[in-house]
């Protein structure tokens, strides 16, 4: 037994010596391993930083725009150096030449807000009144001439400073879809997409925007004077006691608006005659406009999805700066005043223009509803942000 024990000590001693040597070898390798880890971390950091910088550059060069959406191969710009790529545009008029004295004035005139309106020359006087209000706040003005008449506007002093686009008998939403692409209007903080038949005696755009900014409204509209014609939803009517409001309380027919109402037309709603969009909200709304459904019916019920958050908070009606909706139907050839002789209108056009336009609008409303429902059904990953489920 003693002899067997005596053999254990040399074996144990050799094992200890072996472990010590192995540990020593590992200790010698430790600085190398640390250096490798540091190098790997530096590589990861550099790669991450590069990817971040590329993302930042892409967001600068391609705001509100992706190649996937456009159907354009992203490699189509590979032949250009990145620094020369200009993915944005604007609606600012540029002089053919500038003198040293005029350069500062040109830079001072740059606008941060846009007013866009469909107009006909028969509503020229009212349009002039509206535009004068907005020019005092340094807005860029773009007029969509649905009657094709441009010559009738040149006697107005501001007309040559505005952008004019003419297309016969096209709607506001048709023009907006084609000429107000988010990349083109991305320099503007707010886009006013208004009808031409609005009375602005009690409206000031500067004060209006002060309220919109302070309350965080991404989508808004000025309230309608109760004496307006063509009021369709109670929420748009002015409340004399408020500066603004976000919801309405009403029990009328099938419409029951209470504190529990979290959607249009009780809250999170503006109507189509005078909407005002923030830059981000317009980016969303532009994509909501269907290219072939030009009357825009039904879209106002879905604009809350573009509110960049809770529509009950981000969508509002401004009461202190209000307008009068005159509800003058001019698109399609009707007179600038309300049509009083219905038979004469039918005789002149061969068809009842207003009835046909309304019929088409109703057809498009149904198509829009069907497309929304189908899109919700097809997109399995989409979650309704306003669903109570």
Low-confidence winner among 43-52, 121-130, 174-183, 276-285 (lowest mean pLDDT)? 43-52
Does the pLDDT of residue 54 top 60, yes or no?
Answer: no
CA gap 312, 310 in Å, rounded: 5
Low-confidence winner among 10-24, 176-190, 263-277, 288-302 (lowest mean pLDDT)? 10-24
Closest CA to 57 of 84, 89, 91: 84
CA gap 138, 22 in Å, rounded: 79
Check residue 111 and give its pLDDT.
73
Name the band, by pLDDT with cuts 50, 70 and 90, for residue 9: very low
Q: Provide mean pLDDT across the span 59-85.
A: 68
Output 93 or 195, whichever has higher pLDDT: 195
DSSP code string of 79-107? TS-GGG-----------S---HHHHHHHH
Check residue 335 and give its pLDDT.
40
CB 256 within 8 A of CB 250: yes
Torsion of CA 110, 115, 118, 122, to 10 degrees: -90
Q: What percent of the chain has pLDDT over 90?
A: 58
Q: Where are the beta strands (DSSP E) in the chain?
A: 113-119, 140-145, 163-166, 190-193, 198-199, 219-224, 244-245, 250-252, 255-257, 276-278, 315-325
Return the CA Rg of the chain.
32
Give all domains of the chain, ordered by start, each with its CATH number.
105-331 (3.90.550.10)
Half-sphere exposure of 293 (CA within 13 A, CB side): 22
CA gap 378, 386 in Å, rounded: 18
Phi/psi of residue 245, each to 5°? -150, 155
Q: Provide mean pLDDT across the span 320-333.
A: 85
CA gap 135, 353 in Å, rounded: 35
CA gap 203, 188 in Å, rounded: 20
Q: What percent of the chain has pLDDT over 70?
A: 77
Name the band, by pLDDT with cuts 50, 70 and 90, for residue 61: very low
Helices 342-349, 353-378: crossing angle, 10 deg rounding: 80
Low-confidence winner among 113-127, 135-149, 248-262, 359-373 (lowest mean pLDDT)? 248-262
Q: How far is CA 319 from CA 113, 153, 168, 203, 226, in A?
A: 21, 32, 35, 10, 11
Bridge partners of residue 166, in order along the sequence? 145
Check residue 334 and give its pLDDT.
47
């Amino acid at each position: 037994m003693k002899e067997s024990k005596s053999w254990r000590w040399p074996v144990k001693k050799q094992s200890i010596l072996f472990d010590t040597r192995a540990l020593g070898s590992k200790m010698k390798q430790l600085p190398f391993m640390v250096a490798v880890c540091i190098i790997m971390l530096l590589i990861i950091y550099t790669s991450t930083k590069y990817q971040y910088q590329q993302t930042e550059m892409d967001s600068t060069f391609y705001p509100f725009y992706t190649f996937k959406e456009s159907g354009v191969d992203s490699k189509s710009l590979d032949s250009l150096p990145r620094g020369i790529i200009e993915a944005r545009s604007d609606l600012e008029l540029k002089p053919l030449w500038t003198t040293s004295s005029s350069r500062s004035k040109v830079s001072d005139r740059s606008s941060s807000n846009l007013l866009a309106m469909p107009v006909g020359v028969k509503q020229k006087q009212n349009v002039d009144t509206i535009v004068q209000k907005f020019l005092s706040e340094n807005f860029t003005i773009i007029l969509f001439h649905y009657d094709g008449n441009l010559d009738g506007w040149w006697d107005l002093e501001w007309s040559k400073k505005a952008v004019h686009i003419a297309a016969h008998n096209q709607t506001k939403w048709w023009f907006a879809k084609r000429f107000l692409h988010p990349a083109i209007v991305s320099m503007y903080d707010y886009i006013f997409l208004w009808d031409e038949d609005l009375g602005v005696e009690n409206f000031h755009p500067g004060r209006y925007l002060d309220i919109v900014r302070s309350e965080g409204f991404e989508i808004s509209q000025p309230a309608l004077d109760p004496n307006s014609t063509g009021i369709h939803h109670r929420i748009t009517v002015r409340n004399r006691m408020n500066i603004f409001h976000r919801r309405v309380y009403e029990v009328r027919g099938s419409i029951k608006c209470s504190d529990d109402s979290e959607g249009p037309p009780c809250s999170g709603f503006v109507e189509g005659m005078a909407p005002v969009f923030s830059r981000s909200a317009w980016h969303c709304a532009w994509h909501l406009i269907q290219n072939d459904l030009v009357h825009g019916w039904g879209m106002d019920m879905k604009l809350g999805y573009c509110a960049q958050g809770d529509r009950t908070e981000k969508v509002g009606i401004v009461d202190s700066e209000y307008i009068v909706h005159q509800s003058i139907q001019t698109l399609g050839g009707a007179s600038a005043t309300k049509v009083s002789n219905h038979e004469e209108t039918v005789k002149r056009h061969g068809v009842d223009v207003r009835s046909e336009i309304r019929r088409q609008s109703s057809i498009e409303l149904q198509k829009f509803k069907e497309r929304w429902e189908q899109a919700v059904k097809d997109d399995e990953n989409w979650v309704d942000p306003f669903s109570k489920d």
